[in-house]
Structure 1
Amino acid sequence: DGSLLPGFILSRAKARNLVVSFKNENEVRLFLMDLIFKGTDSQNATSTKLNWPVFDFCNQFLQTQQELYDATRDLVTYLCTNHNVRVIEIRFCPELHTLEGLTHDDIVQSVVKGFQAGQQRIIICALRSYPESHSLQMVELCKKYLGKGGIIGFDIAGYESDYPLSIHKKALELANDLDIPITVHIGEFPQTLNNFPFLLQNWKTCKVQRMSHCIELGKDHQVLTECSKAIGKH
């Protein structure tokens, strides 16, 4: 939902008979940028289950199997053709695409089919703002498709400030037990540094292979060193 091409959004808005303010791809880009700027204010991140406005808007175009397939195929084709991209890993949370009745299996299979031609990589995400049962379910779904059609791992994603990583400790432990490679998006904002000590304290059962964002990690040399050592040992 954060990587849709403007042309795809334009065509799906027309197909869904939505009343929108944009008429061409450039206007779509400007519209999305405005939503992104609104999303930088945490007070605006209060829509359904705390998705930022730009993700909520884009997600409405990813509710059918055909939409999921087309969006994935178009993105992979565009990146490989226009930007010489050799390897792509796109993460998504299947739960967000169930609004019109699709099952998790329908969703994963549609995205996998869109990726198969390009032989790229897919990460299944759990959202921080969703309950523990959701993240456990996403881990099980990831295990079911791991190594099939490009599914390579599990990720904890979403609004970090109000939802610490510790909420999903059981999901991280389960992913470790099932030998699923784990990525966590962590340390994007100043108030989120406390997520790193949690990981380090629970490393034996919650070890991760990769951390993304990590902007704030560079401001604490000690924590940075400890995280580097921990990942380096595994």
Structure 2
Amino acid sequence: MDIQNIINNIPKVELHCHIDGSIRPKTILELALTGGIDVPFFNIEEAKRYLQITGECNSLKDYLDKFHFPVRVMQKKINIYRIIMELIEDSKMDGIMYTELRLAPLQHLKGGLSPEEVVETVLEAMKDGKDKFGVVSVLILCSLRHEPVEKSIEVVKLARKYISKGVVAIDLAGNESDFPPEIHKKAFDLAYEYGINITVHAGETGICANILKSIIDLHATRIGHGVFAYKDDKTLVYLIDNHIPLEMCPTSNLQTKAISAYCEHPIRTYLKNGINVTLNTDNRTVSNITLTEEYMNLISKLDFSMEEILQLIRNGINSAFASKQFKTTMLEKFNTYVRELPEICKN
């Protein structure tokens, strides 16, 4: 029995996927060449060397360098619209029924767009993507660690304008090693006051303390990555007792040197210990991974059982920034599929 095909067809969700890290290389090449953007690559194989982790990557900082050209082609409405539609199509092919996509809107203003135009273009494509591909997608707006807190406040106020129109949360992303979460506390206090959902990248590098800082000081109800939670018992207990979901992305963590080998990733230990872990790609293009492939990695490299795979999918559905009613709908769709699987595939 083809387990990969089964996993691909199980209705899944993805909670941590960056748009600019998930653009088809062919699309970046075409948009750069037709748009007169100066790039050092002129065919698809050359492009992949600049856009994907194909060799050694020494840190998260090196990993983030891969976003330079994707951001450059995302400065026009027509380009942003196309990229979103293609990403939703890719999600459909990956068996995803619901995806939370992330974007740092203030990075896309160099072509003359306003922050509102950036967000509205994404939301328009998401609506059309749902109509065409049947995938529900929503938007998380990211502020960036290296930017001043005033920029994060701008992102929070932007999110508030669209919170009932497709934007579901805000996030803090970027260089965790040099910019601790407390720098942006004022902005996230404001988001909390507005009632906006909050997720924060934390514990992606070796700084475990950032996890509790993000939850307590920045009001995060979900944590992006959280790999290094194991370094502090207090953090582990807090995550378990408060049912804080971790948006885990093992291939990305391997590439950024958060782990030295895939088999060392703590995701299975966390799951067994009662932490609410979910599985995600982080950046489909940069990490050169699909969600189905990531689930297969868990089976082949961490000896996950199908029962554990199904639990991860349930965790993702239950942890989504979606209404209780819509989560129930997704769980019903998931359960219907699982009930039809042969018993051998559920163990």
TM-score (norm 1): 0.85
Q: Show structure 2 runs of 5+ residues with no match.
A: 1-19, 131-135, 245-347
* Count of matched residue pairs: 218
Q: How does 1:172-183 map to 2 (within 5 A)?
A: 172-183=188-199
Residue 130 of structure 1 aligns with an amino acid whose one-letter code is E
- The 3 A distance-change label for structure 1 pair 151 and 143 is same
What secondary structure does 1:189 align onto?
A: coil
Q: Show structure 1 runs of 5+ residues with no match.
A: 46-51
Q: Hey, what does 1:48 align to over in structure 2?
A: none
What secondary structure does 1:86 align onto?
A: strand
Where relative contact order (Cα < 8 A, 6+ residues apart) is larger, the structure is 2
Larger Rg: 2
Q: In the aligned structure 2, how far is the partner of 1:107 from the partner of 1:146?
A: 15
Q: Does structure 1 retain, via aligned residues, the 8 Å contact 2:60–2:175?
A: no
Q: Hey, what does 2:186 align to over in structure 1?
A: 170
Q: Hey, what does 1:145 align to over in structure 2?
A: 162
Runs of 4+ in 1 over 4 A off after TM superposition: 34-39
What secondary structure does 2:96 align onto?
A: coil
- The 3 A distance-change label for structure 1 pair 34 and 210 is closer
Q: Hey, what does 2:177 align to over in structure 1?
A: 161
Which of 91, 98, 107 is the matching residue for 2:102?
Answer: 91
1:231 CA displacement: 4.8
Percent identity for Structure 1 against Structure 2: 29
Q: Hey, what does 2:146 align to over in structure 1?
A: 129
Residue 107 of structure 1 aligns with an amino acid whose one-letter code is V
TM-score (norm 2): 0.58
Which of 73, 97, 100 is the matching residue for 2:111?
Answer: 100
Q: Does structure 1 retain, via aligned residues, the 8 Å contact 2:23–2:87?
A: yes
Which of 168, 186, 196 is the matching residue for 2:211?
Answer: 196
Alpha-carbon RMSD across the aligned residues, in angstroms, is 2.1
Q: Hey, what does 2:90 align to over in structure 1?
A: 78
1:143-177 deviation digits (Å, cap 9, x = unpaired)? 100020x2111111111110000001111111111
1:30 CA displacement: 3.1
Q: Hey, what does 2:233 align to over in structure 1?
A: 221
- The 3 A distance-change label for structure 1 pair 36 and 113 is farther
- The 3 A distance-change label for structure 1 pair 142 and 23 is same
1:109-167 deviation digits (Å, cap 9, x = unpaired)? 1111111122311101111110010011100100100020x211111111111000000
Residue 222 of structure 1 aligns with an amino acid whose one-letter code is K
Q: Hey, what does 2:30 align to over in structure 1?
A: 11
What secondary structure does 1:120 align onto?
A: strand
Q: Does structure 2 retain, via aligned residues, the 8 Å contact 1:200–1:227?
A: no
